[in-house]
Amino acid sequence: MSVTAPQGFSAAGFAAGIKESGDLDLALVAAPPGSVGAAVFTTNRAAAAPVIVSRSHLDTAPAVRAVVLNSGCANAATGEAGLAAARATASVVAETLECRSDEVLVCSTGGIGKPLPVPKVLSGVVAMAPRLQTSPEAATDAARAIMTTDTVPKEGVHHGAGFTVGGMAKGSGMVRPDMATMLVVVTTDAAAEPEVLDHALRAAVDESFHALNIDGCPSTNDTVILIASGSSGVETDAATLTAAVGEVCWDLAKQLAADAEGATRVVTIDVVGASDDATAGRAGRLVADSALVRSAFFGGDPNWGRLLGALGATDIEFDPSEFGVAYEGIDIARDGVLAVHDAAALHDSIVKGDFTVTMTIGTGPGKAKVLTTDLTPDYVTFNAEYS
Catalytic positions: 181
CA–CA separation, 279 and 313 (whole Å): 15
Q: Which residues of 280-318 are buried (b: 16+ CB within 10 A; e: fewer)?
A: bbbbbbbbbbbeebbbbbbebebbbebbbebbeeeebeb
CA–CA separation, 13 and 319 (whole Å): 53
Residue 191 pairs in a beta bridge with 235
CA–CA separation, 160 and 7 (whole Å): 13
CA–CA separation, 191 and 186 (whole Å): 14
CB 24 within 8 A of CB 15: yes
C-beta neighbour count of 254 within 10 angstroms: 18
**337-338 vs 10-14, strand pairing mode:** unpaired
